[in-house]
Amino acid sequence: GTTLGASAAESGRYFGTAVAANKLSDSTYVGILNREFTMVTPENEMKIDATEPNQGQFSYGNGDRIVSHAKGQGMRVRGHTLAWHSQQPGWMQNMSGSALRSAMLNHVTQVATHYKGQLYAWDVVNEAFADGGGGGRRDSNLQRTGNDWIEAAFRAARAADPDTKLCYNDYNTDDWGQAKTQAVYSMVRDFKSRGVPIDCVGFQSHFNNNSPVPSNYQTTLSSFAALGVDVQITELDIEGSGSTQAALYQRVVQACMAVARCNGITVWGIRDSDSWRSSGTPLLFDGSGNKKAAYTSALNAL
């Protein structure tokens, strides 16, 4: 294929990007988006603070705009994200206990119902595990409502939108030897054994010098897939430039291609200037929208 999306499709996979609704009027941005990508993740527009800014008052305008653009171009959409410790609206940040548990479940139900049948997958829960060697849950107001908050969120999402894949999504879960990776693996194994509805695991894969592409990345993907879930690379960006960066992109794409249940890869932005990172050049297109060496190596590895 001559584009990321077309090449990924040759093996039944997708190639996606994060999209910001306020950039849909940028013609360079939209030109690359429509040409190259077959999956879209709203970068912020489906998060809790965006979709329920006041308790019980839902706001879907920007999320709907992205879904409508994607559909018009024959692209699919990954929903991101229903339950997370971050980007909570003020009203939720101040809640705890059973009131917060009910508010979280109501949020999951309402938002999943609004998008019912329209999305390829939902990141139901994002970043619920702690960094470091402990292998435990991240402390948060949601975690303090009880250890079963994650499965409660998945059950509510399944009840509201039965045909959309439901994913757990996290970062620093790429290295098979890390405690955080093993902790998420144990949770997914437990969910599968008890019939908690989970269909996929998302690996954010934000790589840099402190968090390099691990040598066992493919082992991580295949080990999770062996539990009976799909795996997806959901927020890929790799710090660096030139041939070094290109080689790393190639390795990540090759790892996904080698795992049958790795359905697709999403990069976290289009041009370097679209990246959430405050500095650096972690994406596939430069600030002017030109293809980088990393683009070519990713394309050739598909």
Q: Which residues are catalytic?
A: 235
Q: Which is nearer to ligand XIL, 44 or 219 (CB)?
A: 44
Distance CA 266, CA 280 (A): 19
The answer to the question of residue 44 lying near ligand XIL (CB under 6 A) is yes
Is residue 63 within 8 Å of 15, Cβ to Cβ? Answer: no
The answer to the question of residue 208 lying near ligand XIL (CB under 6 A) is no
DSSP string, 87-119: S--HHHHT--HHHHHHHHHHHHHHHHHHTTTT-
The answer to the question of residue 51 lying near ligand XIL (CB under 6 A) is no
Torsion angle (degrees, nearest 10) of CA 292, 302, 6, 266: -70
Instruction: Give the number of residues in contact with ligand XIL, rule: CB under 6 A.
Output: 6
Helix, strand or coil, per DSSP, at residue 78: strand
The answer to the question of residue 43 lying near ligand XIL (CB under 6 A) is yes
Distance CA 1, CA 5 (A): 8
Which positions from 222 through 261 interact with ligand XIL, judged by CB under 6 A?
235
Among 60, 91, 185, 276, binds ligand XIL (CB under 6 A): 276
Distance CA 266, CA 232 (A): 8
Among 17, 88, 204, 250, binds ligand XIL (CB under 6 A): 204
Q: Which is nearer to ligand XIL, 42 or 240 (CB)?
A: 42
What x-and-dash track marks residues 94-133 binding ligand XIL by CB under 6 A? --------------------------------x-------
Shortest gap between Cβ of 271 and ligand XIL (angstroms)?
14
Phi-psi region of 9 (alpha: psi -120 to 50; beta: other; left: phi over 0): alpha
Shortest gap between Cβ of 53 and ligand XIL (angstroms)?
16
The tokens of 108 are what?
């999951």
Residues that bind ligand XIL (CB under 6 A): 43-44, 126, 204, 235, 276
